[in-house]
Amino acid sequence: MDLVLFGIQGSGKGTQAKRLCAEFGFDQFEAGGELRKIAAFASAEPKGEDGSGSTLGETVKSYIDDGKLVPFDIIMQVVKEAILSRPKTQKILFDGIPRDLDQMREFDRIMAEVGRDFRCIEITLTEEEGVQRILSRAKIEGRKDDADEATIRRRMATFFEKTKPVIGQYKVAGKMTEVDGRGTVEEVYEGVKEILQKERV
């Protein structure tokens, strides 16, 4: 069964995802990482004939730099390709998708169409704890969209405004379990593993 991980930026979701993939053989789909790859092509892409207009990479980059969700069609195309390119026997760990209700509806539709079942886990953390963790991560990893507190706050606001309703819907559907994200990496990981075993993911 597939797994969808939720958590505000700074919740340790990425770290947990990597460990889960290594131990349980999930293939990770990291929405933000895939989009950053597309954005990295921004300067290398050919422009329109008259040199005007923005390329896909530039468009994606501008949304990431602003801390806003990239347009629906772009992200859903990337996710759909990722799902279709993997054999059904390969479990997938989704990290950073779906992030709003429109994405959720389309994600559910694609997953049902290809016959993939999934469970969801949210790693919970308050906004302040998340902001503090990201600011210290920016110093280590040098991510531009992590270094600016205003951008971080915008990403947090997007999470509470757009992604929390998705989490609510999956709760109602009985697909969601929460893990307290305040512990050490090890403690959170133990909590996550317990859920996987209980839910037989």
Q: Which residues ranging from 7 to 46 are in contact with ligand AMP (CB under 6 A)?
A: 9, 31-32, 35
Among 3, 17, 93, 97, binds ligand AMP (CB under 6 A): 97
Contact between 70 and ligand AMP by CB under 6 A: the answer reads: yes
Contacts of 86 (CB under 8 A, 6+ apart): 27, 92
Pair 109, 18: CB distance under 8 Å: no
Among 2, 26, 155, 191, binds ligand AMP (CB under 6 A): 155
Q: In what order do the strands lie in the sheet with 2-6?
A: 27-30, 92-95, 2-6, 118-124, 176-180
Among 10, 12, 57, 96, binds ligand AMP (CB under 6 A): 96
Residue with token string 């963790």: 133
In total, the chain counts a number of residues equal to 201
Distance CA 179, CA 123 (A): 5
Size of residue set near ligand AMP by CB under 6 A? 16
Among 64, 92, 167, 196, binds ligand AMP (CB under 6 A): 64
Contact between 61 and ligand AMP by CB under 6 A: the answer reads: no
Binding site for ligand AMP (CB under 6 A): 9, 31-32, 35, 63-64, 67-70, 75, 96-97, 99, 103, 155
